Amino acid sequence: MAPKSQKIERVAQEEFGWETLRPGQLEGVEAVLSGRDTLVVMPTGSGKSAVYQLAAAMSDGPAVVVSPLIALQEDQREDLNAGPGRLRAVAANSSHSTAEQERAWAAVADGEAKFLFLTPEQLAKDDVVERLRDVEPALFVVDEAHCVASWGHDFRPDYLRMGEVRERLGAVPAVALTATASAPVREEIVTRLRLRDPLVVAQGFDRPNLCLTVVRHHEDAGKRSAVLDQVTDLPKPGLLYVATRKDSEEYAAELSHRGVRAEVYHAGRKASERETVHHAFLDDEVDVVVATTAFGMGIDKPNVRFVVHADIPDSLDSYYQEIGRAGRDGGDAATFLHYRSEDLGMRRFFSTHHADEDALRTVLKAFTQNDESLRLADLKESLGLTPRKVTNTVNLLEAAGVLTAEKSTFRLTGPVRIPEAVRQSVEAAEARIRFDRSRIEMMRGYAETDGCRRQYLLGYFGEELAERCGNCDNCLAGTAEDLAPDDEDEEFPARSAVVHREWGPGLVMSVETDRLTVLFEQEGYKTLSREVLAENPVLRRR
């Protein structure tokens, strides 16, 4: 073993009490210590955080960790402070008083704290970024990095500005962490965070201890009744995911009426209430948390025995993230998706993020009237739009190639006609809608497949499973079609690059007897009939 590797393993034992490192961790730490940007894609519970924690322990200066959930920040902070080493972690977020936040900043500045946890919204403030520059961080860490790609330009818009913030900090290595990232999500993480030639550490996605089951329904009332009966009878603890806040309240009330210790978690509740539910669940004081996707990240509870979805998620990325909360102790756990095809309409509605043309014109007018670059903060103060709307619009203009970012400022990429720039931005937003809807179609495919569901799920993430899993409902019923990629297919083998006459370049994700699933760069996922392609050869190898 190389001297650097030996030193990393020694620090892992002395500072964190880890006797051995897991696959991928050592490789990731070495890359970060060499100054290289690193994207870590590992399943839930496989030790992603160890990469930045070890690298920080061996670096001069603090590590800033950007995390979307305060509860997640607090859990990681407490875990670090309870470790056997002397490394200390602090957080400066809205759950702490102003005095407590000032003490946290002072601890970082004085070298007493190695880790500083912040939210994306805090880093939208120029004074916070300047303060961060003053403490000269050694690492810039973005946890739950899929958030920069999982939603459009108008969801948690400050998350999309993390690449800009990182550049303002100077030549600081960046570490992006996620438990789920399909091929397009990985590419968008790299682009959004402006990672430079990153090492991508990706471990296997398979969680063979999770049993995958889909329950089909025709009527909503019948589905609700079945969900309630199932969650009441399943071994506890567990999670029930629903689509809306209203549903979370109604399901929790009915489960409580049945004697189940159920609590509600959604973004509409006060932060203190969400934190109370979170810790009660971790302490086994709650049997079931009924939640929206707000409870999808940072739930580090090893003995979750089931995850039930009362409604279809917006993508397999989200679904994998959420079912990943089950069985982290390695024991058997069950996942159930209650599926009604009519529910797809609601998901398509939620995936629609049309561009605000008036806001686009307002922001563009400000740029055309100024020869110099403009700061995001100045735009928020001067345009008469909400800060969130300004950030949304700037994000979209940047994605459309109309604006370019330089540190803390933006400028037009070239001479611009406002109507043309608006059209270009609207087209970018519509392309994102099409892409997001293609992911919903892949979710539908998972729910309706007659094949091995694990093969289908892993194929979405670009991973092959050579044989049927034996632990999904189709396999257990003995009816599962084998969906293993046909590497012998001479025309369109799995992972081959292709070009469609209308949709442009793409990558073959899976090959079946009668169909291909192709991920197109601009249009998203498309399932193509082999018979139709034979009659109309619109697809060719690159």
pLDDT at 149: 67
Strand pairing class (210-216; 333-339): parallel
Contact 244, 366 (CB under 8 A): no
Task: Specify the length of the chain in residues.
Answer: 542
Both tokens of 474, joined, read: 């189709």
pLDDT at 490: 66
Counting as low any pLDDT under 50, the low residues of the chain are: 1, 151-155
pLDDT at 14: 84
Cα–Cα nearest to 326, from 211, 453, 473, 454: 211
Rounded to whole angstroms, what are the CA distances from 371 to 319, 364, 366, 374, 393? 46, 12, 10, 9, 20
Separation CA 469–CA 457 (nearest Å): 11
**DSSP symbol at 169:** T
HSE of 100, CA atoms in CB hemisphere, 13 A: 8
Instruction: Write the DSSP assignment of 292-328 as a string of letters.
Output: -GGGSS----TT--EEEESS--S-HHHHHHHHTTS-T
Residue in the block written with tokens 């550490």: 201
Q: Tell me the one-letter amino acid at 450.
A: D
pLDDT tens by residue, 21-70: 888 889 999 999 999 999 998 877 678 889 999 999 999 999 999 987 77
Instruction: Fold for 3-202, please state it.
Output: Rossmann fold (3.40.50)
Strand partners, 508: 518
Q: Tell me the one-letter amino acid at 242.
A: V
Strand partners, 210: 333
Judge if 357-430 and 485-542 fold alike in CATH terms: no
CA dihedral 294, 298, 300, 303 (to 10 degrees): 30
210-350 carries CATH number 3.40.50.2300: no
Rounded to whole angstroms, what are the CA distances from 197 to 17, 35, 146, 190, 200? 32, 11, 18, 9, 9
Contact 474, 491 (CB under 8 A): no
Q: Tell me the one-letter amino acid at 504.
A: G
**DSSP symbol at 81:** H
Contact 283, 54 (CB under 8 A): no
Residue in the block written with tokens 């037009």: 412
Both tokens of 256, joined, read: 């409580």
The number of helix segments (H) and strand segments (E) in the chain equals 21, 21
pLDDT at 20: 85
User: Which CATH number is 357-430's, of 1.10.10.10, 3.40.50.150, 3.30.200.20, 3.40.50.12170?
Assistant: 1.10.10.10
Q: Tell me the one-letter amino acid at 477.
A: A
Contact 73, 93 (CB under 8 A): yes
Rounded to whole angstroms, what are the CA distances from 11 to 19, 29, 62? 10, 12, 16
Instruction: Fold for 485-542, please state it.
Output: SH3 type barrels. (2.30.30)
Both tokens of 80, joined, read: 């670090």
Q: Which helix (H) or strand (E) holds 214?
A: strand 210-216
Cα–Cα nearest to 195, from 163, 153, 219: 163
Domain locations in the chain as residue ranges: 3-202, 210-350, 357-430, 485-542
Contact 227, 240 (CB under 8 A): yes
Separation CA 408–CA 166 (nearest Å): 10
- Give the count of beta carbons closer than 10 Å to the beta carbon of residue 111: 12
Instruction: Write the DSSP assignment of 435-490 as a string of letters.
Output: HHHHHHHHHHHHHH-SB-HHHHHHHHTT---SS--S-BHHHHTT-PBP----TT-S
Contact residues for 533 (Cβ-Cβ < 8 A; gap 6+): 516, 539
Cα–Cα nearest to 66, from 55, 52, 78, 80: 52
pLDDT at 87: 84
Contact 284, 237 (CB under 8 A): yes
Strand partners, 351: none
Residue in the block written with tokens 């209650």: 338
HSE of 104, CA atoms in CB hemisphere, 13 A: 22
